[in-house]
Amino acid sequence: MTRTALITGATSGFGAAAVHCFAKAGWRVIATGRRAERLQPLVDAYPGLVHAAAFDVRDSAAMEAALAALPAEFAGIDLLVNNAGLAQGTAPAQNASLDDWRTMIDTNVTALVTLTHRLLPQLVQRKGAIINISSVAGVYPYPGGNAYGGTKAFVSQFSLGLRADLHGTGVRVTTIEPGMAETEFTVVRTHGDQAASDKLYSGANPMTAEDIAEQIFWVASLPAHLNINRLEVMPVTQSFAGFQVARD
């Protein structure tokens, strides 16, 4: 039986790479994101297997319209990959932009719970699965991570809460918590500073979008009696720093 995945944030990075993984394996994929022109090549690459749904995840009416307009063969969703998200800014909290914080909360938290709430009845009915993309930033604090880390901590804890509530339904819930991966993430975080992004990843041998897409696909492909609760993955070159102490 052909299964159907809805992958948010499919115009770039992890989400785009995941569309390739799932479609190559014969899944039907609903690929979403705001930049419709980035979705069409995915539709063209996998005729009949990929459906493009361009909308802003923060716009619940647009989300609802896109779901209502799904062709019949894409209407039964077996897997929700909540991947769309972003960081905005690296300033310490006392200097951070409140607009940036609100954008992160609206996208990473409010939109994620809205789409999850909307799809839960059919995921329960189909014994489906949810894969939420969190971050190491939700587990380990770092200077400038403030609201971004907070949104990702929410994603990880919300996922565990879903596991508890979905007990006995057969629905699987996994959080993937990646560390540093080179995508458009840092260009977006810096409001378009490609040089800053290049500098961050230079010589660091970061993970790639394909690395994370393969993890997403692996989790989704496990036997139905197995649930990975959380999966934390970093490049070998990234690890931890110690506590900091301010002195008089």
What residues act catalytically?
Answer: 148
Name which of 46 and 185 has its Cβ closer to ligand NDP: 185
CA distances from 73 to 54, 68, 77, 128 (A): 18, 13, 10, 16
CA distances from 237 to 96, 178, 224 (A): 28, 13, 34
Q: Per rule CB under 6 A, is residue 11 in the interface with ligand NDP?
A: yes
- 3 state SS of 66: helix
Tell which positions 84-113 bind ligand 8X3, by CB under 6 A.
none
Q: How far is the CB of 4 from ligand 8X3 (least distance, A)?
A: 27
Q: How far is CA 137 from the centre of its chain?
A: 14
Residue nearest to ligand NDP (CB): 13
The pair of structure tokens assigned to 161 is 């809460």
Name which of 11 and 174 has its Cβ closer to ligand NDP: 11
Question: Of the listed pieces 6-14, 66-74, 114-122, 232-240, which binds ligand NDP according to CB under 6 A?
Answer: 6-14
Residue nearest to ligand 8X3 (CB): 135
1 has which bridge partners? none
Q: What is the 3-state secondary structure (H, E, C) of 153-178?
A: HHHHHHHHHHHHHCCCCCCEEEEEEE
Q: How far is the CB of 202 from ligand NDP (least distance, A)?
A: 15
The rounded distance, in Å, linking the Cα atoms of 241 and 245 is 13
Question: Of the listed pieces 76-84, 104-112, 135-143, 214-222, which binds ligand 8X3 according to CB under 6 A?
Answer: 135-143
The pair of structure tokens assigned to 107 is 């996208």
Asked if 106 and 117 touch (Cβ cutoff 8 Å), the reply is no
Q: How far is the CB of 114 from ligand NDP (least distance, A)?
A: 11
Q: How far is the CB of 152 from ligand 8X3 (least distance, A)?
A: 6
Question: Of the listed pieces 3-11, 20-28, 35-43, 132-140, which binds ligand 8X3 according to CB under 6 A?
Answer: 132-140
Residue in this structure with the two tokens 């934390």, named with its chain if needed = 232
Using CA atoms of 27, 28, 31, 37 in order, give the dihedral in degrees to the nearest 10.
110
Tell which positions 150-209 bind ligand NDP, by CB under 6 A.
178, 180-181, 183-185, 188, 209
User: What is the contact surface with ligand NDP in residues (CB under 6 A)?
Assistant: 9-15, 33-35, 56-58, 83-86, 107, 133, 135, 178, 180-181, 183-185, 188, 209
User: What is the contact surface with ligand 8X3 in residues (CB under 6 A)?
Assistant: 135-137, 145, 179-180
